[in-house]
Chains A and B, each alone.
Chain A
Amino acid sequence: MKEKVISNQSLPSTAEPIQRLVQELNKLPGIGPKNAQRLAYYLLRAPEEQTQLLAETIASIKQQTTLCPICFNVTDTDHCLICRNPERDQTKVCIVEQPQDILALEHTRIYKGLYHVLHGAISPTEGIGANDIRITELLERLKNNLVAEVILATNTNLEGEQTALYLNHLISPLDIKLTRLAQGLPFGTELEYADDITITRAFEGRQGF
């Protein structure tokens, strides 16, 4: 990823601490120089408790969180809430690319099993291979014979597909049921605009009505 070019010339007469804050905010994704400037001046005028709280909160996400040693979700305790919950189905593991994906899946409350976060997807052109994401840890985890089903919930783009195909190649010899989330037409869209692959998969995965 290219470093953002941050020009100092646009702020020749600003106090140095503000300029530093603008530069730091500018590094955040989706925040351009003008946005950064607006946020910096907002924080300058905001009550001190608010800025203090923000600073502490930002510091705490690094200091007080770690990755769950089982599923590699982000957690503030030794094991994450999902892995600790005895009511979750221990025989199912759903594989996702990033912790945010768990939030999306949990929001539906339809899945009661466990997760495994890969922290990325295989992307040959960016030089990300199988050893750069948490695949080895997954295979270790599957060795304990507790898991009966692995659900692949990687993204449906090329990298996610590659990762799913690669995991299929590794997991299929293990005698574990392997499933992939269904692919097809998203809710609330029009068929007219759907692409060939989506329509092909939607036909292949059609179900009795």
Chain B
Amino acid sequence: MSRPRTYQTEAIIIKKIKLGEADRILTLYTPILGKIQAVAKGIRRPKSKLAGHLELLTHSTVSFARGRNLDTIIGSQTIDSFLPLKSDLSLTAYALYTTELINQFTAEYIENRPLFQLLLETLHQLCLTDNRELLLRHFELHLFKEIGYRPQLRECVVCRQPLQPVLNYFSSDTGGMLCPDCRLTQTIVYPLSVDALKVLRWLQDNDFITISRLKIEPKLSHELERVSRNYIKYLLEREVKSVAWLDSLKQSTQLI
């Protein structure tokens, strides 16, 4: 049986690049098809019917027509445009960071419904919560889990003994914690305080609604950010581009 010539799915637009006079190639994250790319024709013209429904960080229902190479988008209707997110400078930066991670960590046509739900939920929560850093850490930890890089935070990855409440170490190479005795087995390790480890475990085991009540000190938040970023950098073997912008924004808003 031949595949139907058109199909429809819900999707979050995570990346766009220009193509030709007025077209774009969009990267979309969908629940069933995973990450897909498609051409949106004429989308850069002011009278484009699709443009507003296919902007970055928009959750839409999208219809496609199969093409020889890339599929073409033939229709789109917004489900949620995340307006609060787009009207706030730092919120947009946070959201773009999450979509860039999704884009970097996924391959095309690999179904991952929980990951789609995680992204959607995170974008929703960004609009609602003030606890943005913690939400980002929650997103990262659950992203690791969904793509098969869940860090081991309960026991030492070398000696398999449960971790004691002392200063332990995180190793990106082994994807987990090392106890003080085993830390020398790895060349690059990051010290992780007892509190930070507790927060990471708590984030790993709970949904964000439960976690959102948690208030953490800036110093602890910074420690968590550093460990998480190092792990991401190790896994991707490159920098996440939107981090630079996120950091420069954080700095400039602190100054004023």
For window 149-176 of A, CB contacts with B under 8 Å fall at: 157-158, 161-162, 165-166, 169, 173
What total of chain B residues lie within 8 Å of the partner, measured CB to CB? 36
Closest CB of chain A to B74's CB: distance in Å? 13
Segment of A36-44, A64-72, A105-113, A120-128 engaged in the interface with chain B: A120-128
Judge whether B88 is part of the interface by a CB distance below 8 angstroms.
yes
Judge whether B235 is part of the interface by a CB distance below 8 angstroms.
no
- CB–CB A158/B92 < 8 A: yes
Q: How far, in angstroms, from A197 to B51 measured CA to CA in the complex? A: 11
Q: How far, in angstroms, from A90 to B227 measured CA to CA in the complex? A: 51
- CB–CB B83/A127 < 8 A: no
* Residue from A29, A130, A166, A196 within 8 A of B20 (CB atoms): A29
- CB–CB B15/A125 < 8 A: yes
Residues of A within 8 A of B244 (CB): 124, 127, 129
Residues of A within 8 A of B245 (CB): 122, 124, 129
Judge whether A186 is part of the interface by a CB distance below 8 angstroms.
yes
- CB–CB A198/B52 < 8 A: yes
Q: How far, in angstroms, from A157 to B22 measured CA to CA in the complex? A: 14
- CB–CB B78/A195 < 8 A: yes
- CB–CB A197/B83 < 8 A: yes
Q: How far, in angstroms, from A200 to B84 measured CA to CA in the complex? A: 12
- CB–CB B241/A166 < 8 A: no
Closest CB of chain B to A124's CB: distance in Å? 4
Residues of B within 8 A of A188 (CB): 47
Closest CB of chain A to B27's CB: distance in Å? 10
- CB–CB A124/B49 < 8 A: no
Judge whether A209 is part of the interface by a CB distance below 8 angstroms.
no
Q: How far, in angstroms, from A69 to B52 measured CA to CA in the complex? A: 36
Q: How far, in angstroms, from A142 to B83 measured CA to CA in the complex? A: 31
* Residue from B47, B78, B253 within 8 A of A189 (CB atoms): B47
Chain B at the A interface: mostly helix, strand, loop or mixed?
helix
- CB–CB B92/A162 < 8 A: yes
- CB–CB B242/A165 < 8 A: no
For window 51-91 of A, CB contacts with B under 8 Å fall at: none
Assess A125 versus B83: contact at CB under 8 Å? Given A158-B92, A186-B46, A194-B52.
no
For window 241-256 of B, CB contacts with A under 8 Å fall at: 241-242, 244-246, 248, 252-253, 256
Q: How far, in angstroms, from A196 to B51 measured CA to CA in the complex? A: 11
Nearest CB to that of A189 among chain B residues?
B47
Judge whether B97 is part of the interface by a CB distance below 8 angstroms.
yes
- CB–CB B78/A1 < 8 A: no
Nearest CB to that of B17 among chain A residues?
A1
Assess A130 versus B241: contact at CB under 8 Å? Given A1-B17, A161-B86.
no
Judge whether B37 is part of the interface by a CB distance below 8 angstroms.
no
Nearest CB to that of A155 among chain B residues?
B44
Q: How far, in angstroms, from A177 to B213 measured CA to CA in the complex? A: 40
Specify which of A30, A129, A194, A195 lies most central, judged by the most chain B CB atoms within 10 Å of its CB. Answer: A195
Closest CB of chain B to A167's CB: distance in Å? 10
Nearest CB to that of A170 among chain B residues?
B252
Nearest CB to that of B248 among chain A residues?
A129
Residues of A within 8 A of B53 (CB): 195
- CB–CB A157/B96 < 8 A: no
Q: How far, in angstroms, from A124 to B244 measured CA to CA in the complex? A: 8
Listed in ascending order, the chain B residues whose CB lies under 8 Å from chain A are: 15, 17, 20-21, 46-47, 49, 51-53, 55-57, 78, 81, 83, 86-89, 92-93, 96-97, 99-100, 103, 241-242, 244-246, 248, 252-253, 256
What are 25 A-B pairs with beta-carbon distances under 8 A? A30-B20, A124-B93, A125-B96, A125-B103, A129-B244, A129-B248, A157-B51, A157-B56, A158-B56, A158-B57, A158-B86, A158-B92, A162-B89, A162-B92, A173-B256, A188-B47, A189-B49, A193-B49, A195-B52, A195-B53, A195-B78, A196-B52, A196-B81, A197-B55, A198-B52
